[in-house]
Amino acid sequence: MLTIDNLNKSFGSKQVLFDVTFNAQDGRIVGLVGKNGSGKSTIFHSILKFVDYSGDIHINNHPFSSADYDDVGYLPEERSLMPKLTVADQISYLAQLKGLSNKEAKARLPKWLKELEVKGSINDKIKSLSKGNQQKVQLIATLIHDPKLIILDEPFSGLDPVNVGVMKEIILNQKKRGATIIFSDHNMSNIEELCDDVVMINDGHIVLNGSVNDIRNSFGLTRVFVRTDKGPEVLKQLEGVKSVSVQNNGSYKLILEEPSYGKIIFDTLTNGEYIQTFDQEPPTLDEIFKLKAGVNHE
Amino acid sequence: MNKTLIVAKNTYLKGVKSWSFILMIISPIAFIAVSILVGMFTASSSDEGNSVALVSTVPGISQTFKKSDVFEKYNSLTQAKKDLKNDDIDGYVVIKQSGDKLSANYYGYELDSTSKKELSNKLTLLQNSLNLARAKLSQKQILALNQKFSYNEHLKKDANSDDQDTAQTLSFFVLIFILYMLALTYTQVIATNIATEKGTKIMEVIFSSMPGEDYFTGKVIGVIGEIITQLAVYVVAFTGFYLSSPSIPGISGFVKDNKPMIDSIIANLGSWGLLFIIIALIICIIYAAFCGALVANPQDANKALQPILIVIMIGFILSMSVINNGNNLVSQVTSYIPLISSFIMPLRVINGHASNIEAMISIIISIVAAVGSFIWIRRIYPGLILQTEDQNMWKNFKRGLMR
């Protein structure tokens, strides 16, 4: 379990993190979301002791120590491997730094290459692999030693949807294994799909912290998705509707002033008849993110 | 295996398996090998030029010239003339005996002085035999005439003799040359290596696996391993060459003539100078790593190294001036400044301008500086290496300290 209490960090006179407090439980995935430069990477760097900070960061109820290095798997934001090394040598070197023997690392590698569907052999040089396969190799280096705490900084950036799916499967397997996982991503659908909890950070301040469902529901069921033969002008005239937009699939999205208007609109639109779609939802994380990222915390 | 040693092993293997390292090791050996081959070729060429036919019917002539490499007994004057015409020989000498007097006439290209001297000595020996035979001396008189004086050397051993000083000075300059070459080479190796790594995010992966301070230690150990390997290859190559030198034409004479001096230089390599040079090299590597960590691009590594290279140059130039005047104020002061002292103090000790105590104090200062520098740079290294912004070195340095 990872616990962060009152984390503050300054570079010179510029403070970049303000009393950041959250925790990540074993067997759960925490999504860290925020704009570029909001402080996500600095939080990761603080956890890994790359930077000095004030506040408390505990892993399993003790401060990070040399003994914890082997229990951590970290995938940095930008991918970087040694291009002239072979896949086997690269993984073996990084795995040895995580406490695995060379023999053990090379024994585990084929299974990982198969699971992640890496195109290439263990004797191929890193530079000969495609960008996507290099990224998978780096994820193998992050996970091969079965870390208890996994930190993934934008793990899906630059990957095609098929490979994103493969990597998501691997991450969920790690969660099932009981690992504590914390990862950042700009794609909110990835966060919603994978994460149990979400921490939203804006300009170094935490603006939201909790389970994905709780956070979404706290904003109320103010979105209605509806398929009807009535046009947008008619829908906009309905009581409690703030705005109407047409979705790509042909349905309409109504934004309500209050969740309570949902029932009235349902009754008005159906009039006791069949309706193909009527779905009342809370705002998506993406909407919440845009809402919160635009708010000045002061 | 300890993680520091894993990094050291990786750094070492990556270094010694590179083509640049192999070329770096081979090039001086290849240069020396080519020089030796040229020497051998020259020697064999000169051997071929000293071929002279000996045409004579004088009794005992074959025996007298039996061991000569230059003169070869010919039975026919015609054959000798033919060989000279074909340039197979340099000339021929016709030796005749008229009564009890020998006469020799040489025909051909001019002989070198050594061959002329050999011909003259051997003919003198033969003429003396004829003279003794004509004098009809008794055995006792012959023995009396052959009496030779006796000469024995009883030398006093002098530790401060000129030869000893020359050997020590030469030893020191051998070491200075080695230090200069290794320092220039390995400061660039480690600075470029670290600057290359710094531009990559893999350092974050590595620093998430071990303390950056330990990684720095591993790097330094790995590079020192490369230096030891290079030196070991040279020691083995030199030992092999030195042991086989008596049988290498063109080299054997030089080695034989200078063997006492060479042995003395080898013996002196394990002196104060060696200790100073090892410490200087370690200081250079530590600061080169620091310089490499300051820049954001590998191509800027050489620029960052300039201060170290300038200090090395200053030490090298000052060491030249110390040969003539090792007791001036500049020499006295610089012989206590770490890194520069490695170029100055050993020479001052050899020249008698500094005592062993002074050398000891200087070496302690250098060790303290090396250890202090290592601890300080080791501490700030992770902060420096994790800065990837393309900003100037001073800003990188300040940002690194602020981590």
- Amino acid at site B42: T
0.80 exceeded by pTM: no
Please list the helix, strand and coil fractions of chain A in percent, rounded to the nearest 5, in that order: 35, 30, 35
The C-alpha of B47 sits at a distance from chain A's nearest C-alpha, in angstroms, of 53
- Quote the tokens at residue B82: 């033919």
- Region B126-130: mean pLDDT is 85
> Which chain B residues touch A75 with a CB distance below 8 Å?
205
Residue A296 has pLDDT above 50, yes or no: no
* Interchain CB contact of B209 with A (< 8 Å): yes
Residue B48 has pLDDT above 80, yes or no: no
Residue A275 has pLDDT above 50, yes or no: yes
Residue B282 has pLDDT above 50, yes or no: yes
> Which chain A residues touch B210 with a CB distance below 8 Å?
69, 97
Question: Would you call B202 and A81 a contact, using CB atoms and an 8 Å cutoff?
Answer: yes
Question: Would you call B201 and A50 a contact, using CB atoms and an 8 Å cutoff?
Answer: no
The model's confidence at residue A297, banded by pLDDT at 50, 70 and 90, is: very low
The C-alpha of A89 sits at a distance from chain B's nearest C-alpha, in angstroms, of 10
B158-195: pLDDT as tens digits: 555 566 667 777 777 787 888 888 888 889 888 988 88
pLDDT, residue B113, reads: 83
- Region B337-364: mean pLDDT is 87
pLDDT, residue B270, reads: 66
Residue percentage of chain B with pLDDT more than 70: 88
Q: How far does CA A54 lie from the centroid of its chain?
A: 25
Our CA dihedral for B356, B359, B361, B364, rounded to 10 degrees, sits at -120
CA nearest B223: which of B244, B263, B194? B194
Q: Which of A97, A125, A137 to mutate to test binding with chain B, by most B CBs within 10 Å of its CB?
A: A97
A20 forms beta bridges with A7
Residue A212 has pLDDT above 70, yes or no: yes
Q: Which of A16, A78, A90, A93 to mutate to test binding with chain B, by most B CBs within 10 Å of its CB?
A: A93
Lowest average pLDDT, out of A207-221, A272-286, B8-22, B58-72, goes to B58-72
Question: Would you call B207 and A79 a contact, using CB atoms and an 8 Å cutoff?
Answer: no
Residue percentage of chain A with pLDDT more than 90: 58
Question: Would you call B3 and A82 a contact, using CB atoms and an 8 Å cutoff?
Answer: no
The C-alpha of A248 sits at a distance from chain B's nearest C-alpha, in angstroms, of 39
The model's confidence at residue B284, banded by pLDDT at 50, 70 and 90, is: very high
* Interchain CB contact of B17 with A (< 8 Å): no
pLDDT, residue B400, reads: 64
A116-158: pLDDT as tens digits: 988 888 899 998 998 889 999 999 999 999 999 999 999 988 7
A116-125: pLDDT as tens digits: 988 888 899 9
Q: How far is CA A119 from CA A108, A163, B235, B340, in A?
A: 17, 12, 47, 55
> Which chain A residues touch B208 with a CB distance below 8 Å?
48, 69, 72-74, 151
pLDDT, residue B390, reads: 62
pLDDT, residue B158, reads: 54
Residue A298 has pLDDT above 50, yes or no: no
* Interchain CB contact of A45 with B (< 8 Å): yes
B33-42, B45-54, B83-92: which has the highest mean pLDDT? B83-92
Residue B370 has pLDDT above 80, yes or no: yes
Chain A CA closest to residue B210: A69
pLDDT, residue A250, reads: 86
The C-alpha of A70 sits at a distance from chain B's nearest C-alpha, in angstroms, of 6
A 83-102 near B (Cβ less than 8 A): 93-94, 96-98
Question: Would you call A97 and B6 a contact, using CB atoms and an 8 Å cutoff?
Answer: yes
Chain A CA closest to residue B385: A50
- Region B249-265: mean pLDDT is 75
Q: Which of B2, B4, B19, B209 to mutate to test binding with chain A, by most A CBs within 10 Å of its CB?
A: B209
Question: Would you call A74 and B200 a contact, using CB atoms and an 8 Å cutoff?
Answer: no
pLDDT, residue B162, reads: 62
Question: Would you call B201 and A79 a contact, using CB atoms and an 8 Å cutoff?
Answer: yes
In terms of pLDDT, which residue wins out, B318 or A150? A150
- Determine phi and psi for B327, rounding to 5 degrees: -120, 10
Contact A123, A88 (CB under 8 A): yes
Question: Would you call B207 and A50 a contact, using CB atoms and an 8 Å cutoff?
Answer: yes
Residue B319 has pLDDT above 90, yes or no: no
Residue A18 has pLDDT above 90, yes or no: yes
**Residue B39 is inside which H or E element, if any?**
helix B19-49
Count CB pairs under 8 A between chains A and B.
63
Q: How far apart are CA B187 and CA B339, in angstroms?
A: 13
DSSP string, A116-172: TT-SS-TTSBGGGS-HHHHHHHHHHHHHTT--SEEEEESTTTT--HHHHHHHHHHHH
Q: How far apart are CA B388 and CA B380, in angstroms?
A: 15
Packing angle between helix A131-143 and helix A87-96, nearest 10 degrees? Answer: 30
B 362-381 near A (Cβ less than 8 A): none
Chain A CA closest to residue B388: A78
* Interchain CB contact of B10 with A (< 8 Å): yes
pLDDT, residue B38, reads: 80
Can you say whether the dihedral through the CA atoms of A180, A184, A189, A190 is positive or negative? negative
Interior angle at CA A51, CA A126 and CA A158, nearest 5? 35
> Which chain A residues touch B207 with a CB distance below 8 Å?
48, 50
In terms of pLDDT, which residue wins out, B262 or A72? A72
Q: Which of B18, B202, B399 to mutate to test binding with chain A, by most A CBs within 10 Å of its CB?
A: B202
A220-237: pLDDT as tens digits: 999 999 998 888 888 899
Question: Would you call A76 and B382 a contact, using CB atoms and an 8 Å cutoff?
Answer: no
B 231-270 near A (Cβ less than 8 A): none
* Sheet of strand B91-98: strand arrangement: B71-74, B52-56, B91-98, B101-108
pLDDT, residue A252, reads: 92
- Region A100-129: mean pLDDT is 91
Q: How far apart are CA A1 and CA A27, in angstroms?
A: 9
B8-30: pLDDT as tens digits: 999 999 889 888 888 888 888 88
pLDDT, residue B164, reads: 63
In terms of pLDDT, which residue wins out, A182 or A131? A182
Chain B CA closest to residue A47: B208
